[in-house]
Amino acid sequence: MNQCQAAARLRVALGHLGQPSARAGVAYPTSGAVSPNSFHPPQFQYTRDNDVLSLEQRNFYEENGFLVIKNLVSDADIQRFRDQFERICRGEVKLEQMMIMRDVSIAKSEYIPSERMISKIQYFEDDKELFRYCTLPEILKYVECFTGPNIMAMHTMLINKPPDSGKKTSRHPLHQDEHYISFRPSNKIVCAWTAMEHIDRNNGCLCVLPGTHKGSLKPHDYPNWEGGVNLMFYGIQDYDENSPRVHLVMEKGDTVFFHPLLIHGSGWNKTQGYRKEVSRYRARLVKGQRISL
């Protein structure tokens, strides 16, 4: 697949859904006279009413735009995702729709099937083993807290962050996921991101700017990084170095749910290991696949 085809595929996959059809949040009063003094904004804008989240968790997401649930995905399931990833790396599994990405630092080197060559797999909806991630009841249970029922998976990916070559190209610039998608409404979309092993600042953990989900979509462009930037990895331009950042240290199976406007990225992998995470799971549809709860 050449670059243009890959880029076109990304656009098609992200662009085929319709425009907003539903409103998020708790309903405003719709009838009767409402005096300015009796009007209250909805208490919850970013989470739905059900009994899965505690009030504290709900308030945390409303305020910060992300929520970490510890130990959500079992070791056995993660082992299955890992085994399948390895089969894909060995070239034993090939799927038409799946897109494989290499880090820019090795993009021009000879292709030898191995985990060294694959930094990201996108669109694994046709892979039964990997797509199991999107159907795990424990994941769906939480996704529904943000999206409501009638859930659909979008833009699935498995990231295998490579050891950095020294040029810091393994960083993922700070961005908002909404830059990459054309469907809305924002408050009914969530990302689930599950650590497939211990992830901290050494191997390039997720870094978030809490509360930024309350802002709007910012202009994105390539960052001005000396060591190079991966194709199509855009970042926000007005990044304030002093804004408080939170580094999410996660154990295997821990899962973070975050809002598509939350500014986030990931640091460089200073270790020699390949840092793995499986993610994506948004409430929406990919190629007609609908997940029932």
Ligand X SMILES: O=C(O)CCC(=O)C(=O)O
Residues that bind Fe ion (CB under 5 A): 177
251 to 290, contacts with ligand X by CB under 6 A? 264, 266, 277, 279
Binding-site member from 81, 268, 274, 281 for ligand ATP (CB under 6 A): 268
Interaction partner, residue 201 (ligand X, ligand ATP, ligand MFK, none; CB < 5-8 Å by kind): ligand ATP
**Residue 252 CB: number of other CB atoms within 10 A?**
17
177 to 236, contacts with ligand ATP by CB under 6 A? 201, 207, 223
What are 46's two structure tokens? 């970013």
Interaction partner, residue 206 (ligand X, ligand MFK, Fe ion, none; CB < 5-8 Å by kind): ligand X
Give the pairing of strands 246-248 and 206-209. Answer: antiparallel
Distance in Å, CB of 179 to Fe ion, minimum: 9
In terms of CB distance, is 134 or 174 closer to ligand ATP?
Answer: 174
260 binds ligand ATP (CB under 6 A): no
Report cis status (omega within 30 of 0) of the bond before 185.
yes
**Residue 254 CB: number of other CB atoms within 10 A?**
20
Distance in Å, CB of 62 to ligand ATP, minimum: 24
Tell me the β-bridge partners of 191.
Answer: 258
Closest CA relative to residue 61, chosen from 259, 281, 284: 259
Which helix (H) or strand (E) segment holds residue 277: the answer is strand 275-279
In terms of CB distance, is 61 or 268 closer to ligand ATP?
Answer: 268
Judge residue 268's burial from the number of C-beta atoms within 10 Å of its C-beta, 0-12 exposed, 13-18 middle, 19 or more buried.
buried
1 binds ligand MFK (CB under 6 A): yes
